[in-house]
């Protein structure tokens, strides 16, 4: 079994090498190999140069490095990365240090054991997390609740980065949203697949960044997420 780890990246020169080192060294279940797919979303800092150094730093790890010529957003970067994935499983990893690859074992376990087709992490079910913005947390919970109302799922953290899919599931889905609307879009679309997918949730640690430290999502993305939830309830 192979795991494709897709990392969308925009202006993360400060954290890129550290997060990739963690991804390369993260423990995986027995019999699972990894490939790392890095998608540079037209960064304006030194991200591109640092990405090109990675295959030389980790010669034993298969890398795919994509450099986009136009900045389109996280959803578009993931869409491009998914097309390059050759693994049986696909995991999404942000390029900052908010999520810890030490959680890979927990995320993969339900699928490896044959119990799940999709696994979501959750920042809200008991694992360590950095204390930051009250209204940001309320916004996440509101969007998750609204998404659940339209999808009839009972997720606790729809907006979480950590999501793992069987590649056969992703092959049934075309991603339309270019930015952070990816999260509600993919959730709506996996909820529509029949026969109904087996979706699991596991707690993951969360070391959130402040806006001063580089956090990119804003309240405007929250408004767009509401519209995305409604849109993909009634259309593909």
The CATH number of whichever domain residue 98 belongs to comes to 3.90.550.10
- For strand 118-122 and strand 163-166, is the pairing parallel, antiparallel, or unpaired? antiparallel
Beta strands of 68-181 (E only): which ranges?
A: 89-92, 118-122, 163-166
Model pLDDT for residues 113-159, shown as the tens digit of each residue:
999 999 999 999 977 777 767 877 888 899 999 999 999 999 999 99
Please indicate whether residue 236 or residue 95 has the higher confidence score (pLDDT).
95
Residue 112 tokens, joined: 């490896």
Please indicate whether residue 187 or residue 135 has the higher confidence score (pLDDT).
187
Summarize the confidence of residues 47-59 as an average pLDDT: 97
- Contact 143/158 with Cβ under 8 angstroms? yes
- Please tell me the total count of domains within the chain: 1
**What whole-number distance in Å separates Cα of residue 128 and Cα of residue 111?**
23
What residues make up the domain containing 162? 2-234
Inform me whether the pLDDT recorded for 234 exceeds 90: no
**What whole-number distance in Å separates Cα of residue 121 and Cα of residue 104?**
10
Beta strands of 41-150 (E only): which ranges?
A: 63-67, 89-92, 118-122
């Amino acid at each position: 079994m192979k795991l494709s780890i897709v990392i969308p990246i925009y202006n993360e020169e400060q954290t890129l090498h550290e997060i990739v080192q963690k991804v390369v060294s993260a423990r995986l279940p027995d019999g699972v190999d990894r490939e790392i797919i890095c998608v540079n979303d037209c960064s304006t800092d030194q991200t591109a140069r640092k990405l090109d150094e990675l295959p030389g730093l980790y010669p034993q790890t298969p890398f795919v490095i994509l450099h986009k010529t136009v900045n389109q957003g996280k959803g578009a970067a993931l869409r491009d990365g998914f097309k390059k994935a050759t693994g049986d499983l696909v995991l999404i990893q942000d390029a900052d240090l908010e999520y810890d690859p030490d959680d890979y074992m927990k995320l993969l376990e339900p699928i490896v054991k044959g119990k799940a087709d999709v696994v979501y992490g959750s920042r809200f079910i008991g694992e360590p997390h950095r204390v930051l913005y009250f209204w940001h947390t309320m916004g996440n919970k509101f969007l998750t609740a609204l998404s659940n109302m339209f999808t009839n799922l009972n997720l606790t953290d729809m907006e979480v980065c950590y999501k793992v899919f069987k590649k056969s599931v992703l092959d049934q889905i075309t991603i339309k949203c270019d930015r952070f609307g990816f999260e509600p879009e993919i959730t709506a679309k996996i909820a529509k697949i029949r026969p109904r997918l087996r979706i699991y949730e596991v707690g993951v640690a969360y070391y959130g960044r402040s806006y001063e430290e580089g956090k990119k999502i804003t309240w405007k993305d929250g408004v767009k997420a509401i519209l995305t939830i409604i849109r993909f309830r009634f259309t593909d």
